[in-house]
Amino acid sequence: MSKQKVILSKNIESDLAEAIQACPHDCLFIVTDTHTHQLCMPTLLSTGLVNDATEIIIEAEDIHKNMETLASVWQVLSEKGATRHSLLINLGGGMVTDLGGFAAATFKRGINYINIPTTLLAMVDASVGGKTGINFNGLKNEVGVFAPADSVLIDSNFLRTLDKENFFSGYAEMLKHGLISHVGHWAELLSINTDKLDYDYLKKLVGESVQIKENIVEQDPFEHGIRKALNLGHTAGHAFESLALAQNKPVLHGYAVAWGIICELYLSHRNTGFPKDKMRQTIQFIKDNYGVFIFDCKQYEALYGYMTHDKKNTSGVVNFTLLSDIGEIVINQTADKETIFEMLDFYRECMGC
């Protein structure tokens, strides 16, 4: 898999001009959602670089990351004469970069694309690393391909458009990066003043977070080994997300990951010796900022079922990424049904639900 160029942009106009110039094309398309069309597209239009582009506006929120929306993007590309030499720009959050990237990777067997993430979650996770895909059959990211963008332009000024919930959704992935990297970065993330954000300081933290992910992806682009570190919190988190979708009460991805981190730090403490004090500090930060996902023991079977469908599994055995300490990653750890139910008991007890 080719290495994508990730740019922490200081001037979106010049950086976008360079990224477009690096991808010679006959037609230009831009995928936005109903939010980024209104809040972020004016920034691109103000550069004068995309005046001839065809904008494809899709519905916002993860519930629309599905086959129908994907087909609608293909439909516009086809009707407007896109060829194998066309270029697609994804302007939006993780839903847009995931689905738009998948559309680009599959149309005409693949066209070039650029990601311009506009949410914290997309900047530090979804837009970087080459994973694309859609939800299918009630399961998160069930269908997709590895297909890196030609460029990823990260402009932290877009973060000023975020509401509190979307900020914390992205911050959960940053917290994960802190846990899998080193104590200093983890401590920085736990001590940030979220009531009065310093956007210059946040830009620094975003840069560190992106670098952590880039380094891991470069070592293992197709997730055969160390890239599995990035799955911390996601086995349980995706199960929570799928249950919420099934109940028609969707939750933001990062919130599900944060709740999944609680579960998987418990397993880490239980199975691989993760320190109790660091577990409790991390859990307290999540309790203070993410609220609680409420479920009861009658839903354990459903959650376990979602975990058995996770892409990281082999032969239906549930696979976790755990830690023995901050930055000390232990991949390919399995847990039986009884242990997973014990993990869910711990979550409900410590979260008071």
pLDDT digits (tens, 9 = 90+) for 178-217: 999 999 999 999 999 988 899 989 999 999 999 999 999 9
User: For the chain, what percentages of helix, strand and coil (3-state, to nearest 5) are there?
Assistant: 55, 15, 30
In 69-193 the beta strands, taken as DSSP E runs, fall at 87-92, 112-117, 134-136, 139-143, 151-154
Whether residues 217 and 157 share a domain: the answer is no
Residue corresponding to tokens 């354990």: 300
In the structure encoding, which two tokens stand for residue 14, read together? Answer: 């010049």
DSSP H or E run through 285: helix 276-290
Whether residues 198 and 139 share a domain: the answer is no
Last residue of a domain, one of 161, 187, 222: 161
Q: What is the per-residue pLDDT across 319-344, written as a single tens digit (0 to 9) for each?
A: 999 999 999 999 999 999 999 999 99
Residue 154, CA distances (Å) to 8, 53, 57, 121, 323 in order:
5, 20, 21, 12, 29
Number of domains the chain contains: 2
Last residue of a domain, one of 128, 161, 194: 161
Give the CATH number of the domain where residue 272 resides: 1.20.1090.10
- At residue 2 the predicted structure's pLDDT band, cuts being 50, 70 and 90, is low
Whether residues 205 and 240 share a domain: the answer is yes
* Burial profile 162-183: b = 16 or more Cβ within 10 angstroms, e = fewer: beeebbbbbbbbbbbbbbbbee
CB 94 within 8 A of CB 127: yes
- Please give the Cα distance from 243 to 76 (Å, whole number): 32
Q: What is the per-residue pLDDT across 65-112, written as a single tens digit (0 to 9) for each?
A: 999 999 999 999 999 999 999 999 999 999 999 999 999 999 999 999
DSSP H or E run through 281: helix 276-290
Whether residues 227 and 321 share a domain: the answer is yes
Q: Shortest CA distance to 29 belongs to which of 94, 81, 66?
A: 81
Whether residues 260 and 223 share a domain: the answer is yes
Give the CATH number of the domain where residue 80 resides: 3.40.50.1970
Handedness of CA 260, 261, 262, 267 (dihedral sign): positive
- Please give the Cα distance from 252 to 263 (Å, whole number): 17
Whether residues 139 and 188 share a domain: the answer is no
- At residue 138 the predicted structure's pLDDT band, cuts being 50, 70 and 90, is confident
Whether residues 155 and 170 share a domain: the answer is no
- Please give the Cα distance from 310 to 290 (Å, whole number): 24
pLDDT at 53: 98
- Please give the Cα distance from 195 to 109 (Å, whole number): 46
Whether residues 194 and 326 share a domain: the answer is yes
Residue 256, CA distances (Å) to 169, 173, 238, 251 in order:
8, 10, 7, 7
Q: What is the per-residue pLDDT across 282-319, written as a single tens digit (0 to 9) for each?
A: 999 999 999 999 999 999 999 999 999 887 787 778 99
- Please give the Cα distance from 279 to 346 (Å, whole number): 12
Whether residues 215 and 233 share a domain: the answer is yes
- At residue 237 the predicted structure's pLDDT band, cuts being 50, 70 and 90, is very high
Residue 42, CA distances (Å) to 30, 35, 47, 70 in order:
12, 12, 9, 24
- Please give the Cα distance from 143 to 67 (Å, whole number): 10
Q: Shortest CA distance to 323 belongs to which of 224, 230, 191?
A: 230
CB 154 within 8 A of CB 7: yes
pLDDT at 6: 93
Whether residues 184 and 329 share a domain: the answer is yes
130-135 average pLDDT score: 95
Which pTM was predicted? Answer: 0.91
Whether residues 136 and 182 share a domain: the answer is no
pLDDT at 246 over 60: yes
Whether residues 96 and 193 share a domain: the answer is no
Task: Provide the Cα torsion 90, 93, 98, 99; round to 10°.
Answer: -70
Last residue of a domain, one of 118, 138, 161: 161
Q: What domain range includes position 94?
A: 5-161
